[in-house]
Structure formats: C-alpha cells, structure tokens
C-alpha cells in the first residue's frame, strides 16, 4: 500500500431498489462508510445480495446512491468517470469480431485517447498481462483466463488510477483463478493503482487484498475490516502458510452467521403453523 492518501471516500452510502411499500422494493445497502487508500487492493466480501456490487457501481458512477456521497480523488461522483476509473466485469465483454489488439484500442477510443497513442499503449498493456504474442488473435481463439487477461489489458491501457473489479475471475476454474491472482498481485506491486475487488472466495480475498471489508447480510454494511499484512507480490507459498489459514478462518467466522441470515431471508415464505412456527 502507499502513503495513506485517500483515493475513494465513501460516506453514509445507502441504496434501495424500488419504492418503499412496493413488492419489488429491496434495501440493498445501508449506511456504509469507507476510506480506500491510493495504491491498495481492497476486497469486498459478503453474502450474496449484500450490496457489494451495488457499492462498486455507486463508486463507478453507474448507480446513484439513495443516500450518502462518494468522492474519487476529491471529486464528487455524479456519473461515470472514464478518465479516473476503469471497470472489469465477471464476463470479459470483448467484441468477438475484433482481435485482442482491436479490443484494447476500442477502450481508448471510447475514452477519447488520441489515436496516435493507441498502438504504444495497447502493446504496453498486452505485455503487462502476458498477451503480446496474441494481439492478432480473436477472443474465440483464447481460453477463459486469457480473455480475462485481455479485459485487464484494456483496462490498463486507459491508464486510470482506479480499477473496479466485479468478480473478474468468478467464471474461471480454480487453477486459472490462482494464476491470475498471482499476476494481479505482481501488477499491484509494479503500479500505484487502487483496486476495489468484489469476490465470494475467502482464499482469493486473503491472497489478493491489503484489506478485506466484510459485509453483513442485506441491507449490507461493513461489519469488519481485516488487514492482510503481507507485501505484494504475494508468494504462492503464502497460500500454505499458517498465517493464510488463520486469516481465512477469521473471514469464515465473520461471514458464517451473515450467510445464515441471508439464506434465511431469501428462503421461500411458506405457510406457518398455528403457533407461528414452520408448518
């Protein structure tokens, strides 16, 4: 992590979908405050439906909060900030009719980067993720992990200070996730980028994060923040260490009751017995 300069300031953010009283009303996020430091990787972890992705979308300006405020680099967020923030989703969102190089350049085109800079930036970002030799390949010719590398290259080419990553490795097999996690740790060590990373994986959170924000069941808010005091790039041996196991167990203990609450609140509401209990 860097010197402690705040890159993202979140104050009392809440969000609800639909109006109170409507059948579709959901209070997803409640009174959440966080300071995210420049150069750190913060993982958001919690039960399904606890508002992790909602908060990520609020930070990215894709969703306006119902209450509270977000600032990026001291500027209020009122919509997308493509010169400050890049997004990587679970699905790679590559255009299948474009080559890898063309997909990377499209991101710069949409951002308004001068065309004269496209070739050099694309080459640099593809080298950073180990895809330089696949620049002329099409997405269908790549593995799932390679396609996510291409998405990361596109985000890196934008040269934003902040990356928002919404379960970017969630659709990949465990071995590929492990390798991409190692590569992301190396990338973090080389740059000053601030990364907010949503995951459901306890191991992924411990391996990647400088800090882990553990969310409560919906309406989600930060239950506790766990600091992972381990330098980047993370050594693969860290995964088999007692320290890693202890941190993972701590996360599990914090999440267990919240997941139970989430499962209970999402369960179908059947008929109840005469005494108010389950039939």
Q: What is the pLDDT of residues 28-45, one digit of tens each?
A: 999 999 999 999 999 999
How far apart are alpha carbons 151 and 172 in whole angstroms?
14
Q: How many domains does the chain have?
A: 1
Calculate ∠ Cα 163-254-170, nearest 5°. Answer: 40
* Residue 143 lies inside a defined structural domain of this protein: yes
Strands 6-17 and 67-72: what pairing? antiparallel
pTM as predicted? 0.88
Indicate the average pLDDT of the chain. Answer: 89
* Residue 108 lies inside a defined structural domain of this protein: yes
* Residue 124 lies inside a defined structural domain of this protein: yes
* Residue 29 lies inside a defined structural domain of this protein: no
Residue 64 has pLDDT above 50, yes or no: yes
Averaged pLDDT, 56-66: 95
How far apart are alpha carbons 128 and 41 in whole angstroms?
18
* Residue 254 lies inside a defined structural domain of this protein: no
pLDDT of residue 266: 60
* Residue 142 lies inside a defined structural domain of this protein: yes
pLDDT of residue 34: 96
Residue 271 has pLDDT above 50, yes or no: no
Query: Could you tell me the sign of the dihedral formed by the alpha carbons of 140, 95, 113, 167, in that order?
Result: negative
* Residue 110 lies inside a defined structural domain of this protein: yes
Q: Rg for the chain (alpha carbons), in Å?
A: 20
Cα distances from 50 to residues 159, 169, 232, in angstroms, run: 30, 19, 29
What is the span of the domain harbouring residue 128?
94-159
């Amino acid at each position: 992590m860097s010197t402690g300069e705040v890159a993202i300031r979140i104050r009392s953010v809440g969000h609800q979908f639909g109006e109170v009283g409507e059948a579709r009303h959901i209070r997803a996020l409640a009174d959440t405050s966080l300071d995210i430091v420049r150069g750190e990787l913060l993982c958001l972890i919690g039960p399904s439906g606890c508002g992790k992705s909602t908060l990520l979308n609020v930070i990215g300006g894709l969703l306006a909060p119902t209450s509270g405020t977000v600032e990026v680099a001291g500027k209020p967020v009122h919509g997308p900030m493509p010169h400050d923030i890049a997004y990587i989703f679970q699905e790679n969102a590559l255009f299948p009719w474009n080559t890898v190089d063309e997909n990377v350049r499209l991101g710069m085109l949409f951002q308004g980067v001068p065309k004269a800079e496209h070739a050099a930036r694309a080459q640099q970002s593809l080298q950073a993720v180990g895809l330089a030799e696949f620049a002329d390949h099409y997405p269908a010719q790549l593995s799932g992990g390679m396609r996510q590398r291409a998405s990361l290259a596109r985000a890196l080419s934008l040269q934003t200070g902040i990356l928002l990553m919404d379960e970017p490795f969630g659709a990949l097999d465990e071995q590929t996730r492990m390798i991409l996690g190692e590569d992301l740790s190396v990338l973090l060590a080389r740059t000053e980028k601030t990364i907010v990373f949503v995951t459901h994986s306890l191991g992924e959170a411990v391996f990647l994060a400088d800090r882990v924000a553990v969310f409560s069941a919906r309406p989600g808010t930060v239950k506790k923040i766990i600091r992972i005091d381990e330098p980047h790039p993370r050594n693969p041996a860290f995964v088999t260490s007692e320290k890693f196991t202890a941190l993972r167990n701590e996360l599990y203990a914090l999440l267990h009751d919240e997941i139970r609450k989430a499962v209970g609140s999402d369960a179908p509401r059947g008929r109840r017995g005469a005494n108010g209990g389950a039939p």
